[in-house]
Amino acid sequence: MKKVITKNKLAVLTGIVLLAGVMYTAYFIADPEVIELTPASRAALKGNFIKLKNGTANYSVKGENSPNTVIFLHGSTIAMWDFDLQEKTLINNGYKSVRFDFFGKGFSDRPDIKYDRKLYTEQLLDILDSLKINEKTVIVAHSLGGAIAADFTAKYKSRVKGLFLISPVINSVTSIPPFIVCNTPVLGPFVYRFFMSRVLKMRAAKQWDGNVKNSDYYNHLFEKQTEIKGFQHAVCSMFQTDLTGDYTSRYLQLDTLHIPVTILYGSNDRVIGLDNINFLKNRTQNIKFIPVAGAGHSAHVEKQKYVDRELLDFLKDIYKEK
């Protein structure tokens, strides 16, 4: 009887070891991250790159001759092409556009560090200083970029002329699944690679599919950034730090800074949660809220013409002739 029990235990143990081996092998075979960022690979990506304190960042400056600067901050996983449509609108209307990829996203470096608020507010400050943008600037931001803009403005009020925030993250602690996946030891990385990565791609595709003619181009860009080593680490790290925490206090602080702030949001946005929007509405007096009927989390793409008009009105009011 004891021999049978011993054989059964051995069989179970052998099965566990074999399963672990298969999962380990599959995990590395399925690894999409095959591109190491080097001078040669960056040249192939055809970006513009600038050396910052924490790494090299991909950036774009257009409309250089305009004195009226607008800097765009993209969301959590879609990089600076998030604002391709708005950049064209601004250039055609005489503004200077500055965009860049946050570390870990797009074609910027993926440093092996914590992806927290400090990293991204410092990157924004570093970009402004490195490009010698010393005048106050308007920040236009989407999703997580909006939260970073709020945090940056609270710390560096003297660098900001106004904020135009599209579906900004207010309290992303309500997004439970990513937090669970990225904070689960051992199994978390497997779940990310085989399931969560696909969810991120599908979520990104929703921003473009049916809204622009060249959606395949944007889906390809998203796929390309996932092939650069360090993307998974960057995504999961942000769900392990204060980067995706509660920014409510920062927005309440903005209300007291005497800086023009507009928050534009889709009436059907299920990402930021309209309860968060209503919470801020009821507790602020100087922030302007603009609902966009029928839009979801990416109103600037889904309802581009309407959002562009609101943005241009916002900019004209700020940069009005003296």
Each residue's pLDDT, cut to its tens digit, for the chain (322 residues) gives 445 556 666 655 565 555 445 444 555 555 678 899 999 999 888 899 999 999 999 999 999 999 999 999 999 999 999 999 999 999 999 999 999 999 999 999 999 999 999 999 999 999 999 999 999 999 999 999 999 999 999 999 999 999 999 999 998 755 667 777 887 876 777 777 767 788 888 889 999 999 999 999 999 999 999 999 999 999 989 989 999 889 999 999 999 999 999 999 999 998 888 899 999 999 999 999 999 999 999 999 999 999 999 999 999 999 985 4
DSSP 8-state secondary structure symbol assigned to residue 134: -
260 and 317 in contact (C-beta within 8 Å)? yes
Could you give the CA distance from residue 36 to residue 55 in angstroms, rounded to a whole number?
A: 14
Count other C-beta atoms under 10 Å from residue 216's C-beta. Answer: 12
Q: Which two tokens stand for residue 170?
A: 């207010």
Give the total number of structural domains in the chain. 2
Q: Which two structure tokens, joined as six digits, stand for 298?
A: 């990416």
- How far is residue 205's CA from residue 199's CA, in Å, rounded to a whole number? 10
Q: CA dist 90 to 62, 258, 279, 314, 317, Å? A: 10, 25, 32, 12, 14
Same domain, 134 and 229: yes
* 177 plus 219 within the same structural domain: yes
| CATH code of the domain covering residue 135 | 3.40.50.1820
DSSP per residue, 276-314:
HHHHHHTT-SSEEEEEETT--S-HHHHTHHHHHHHHHHH
Q: Are residues 68 and 13 in the same domain?
A: no
Say how far apart CA 228 and CA 222 lie, in whole Å. Answer: 11
Do residues 286 and 305 both lie within one domain? yes
Say whether both 23 and 45 belong to one domain: no
What DSSP string runs through 247-270? -HHHHHHHTTTT--EEEEEETT--
pLDDT at residue 212, rounded to an integer: 94
Residues 96 and 62: beta-carbon distance below 8 Å = yes
| Residue 306 Cα to chain centre, angstroms | 22
Mark whether 50 and 120 lie in a shared domain: yes
Task: Give pLDDT, residue 250.
Answer: 96
Cα-to-chain-centroid distance, residue 213: 23
pLDDT value of position 130: 97
Q: If DSSP codes are grouped into helix, strand and coil, which group holds residue 271?
A: coil
Instruction: Note whether 17 and 44 are same-domain residues.
Output: no
pLDDT at 20: 47
Quote the pTM value.
0.90
Q: Are 248 and 282 in contact (CB under 8 A)?
A: no
Same domain, 311 and 209: yes
Please work out, in degrees rounded to the nearest 5, the angle formed at the alpha carbon of residue 246 by the alpha carbons of 315 and 207. Answer: 55
Same domain assignment for residues 104 and 250: yes
How far apart are the C-alpha atoms of 15 and 37, rounded to whole Å? 39
Q: Do 54 and 123 lie in a common domain?
A: yes
Looking at residue 82, the DSSP 8-state letter turns out to be: G
**Do 11 and 152 share a domain, yes or no?**
no
Q: Are residues 48 and 1 in the same domain?
A: no
- Coil/strand/helix, residue 162: strand
| Residue numbers of the domain that contains 206 | 39-318
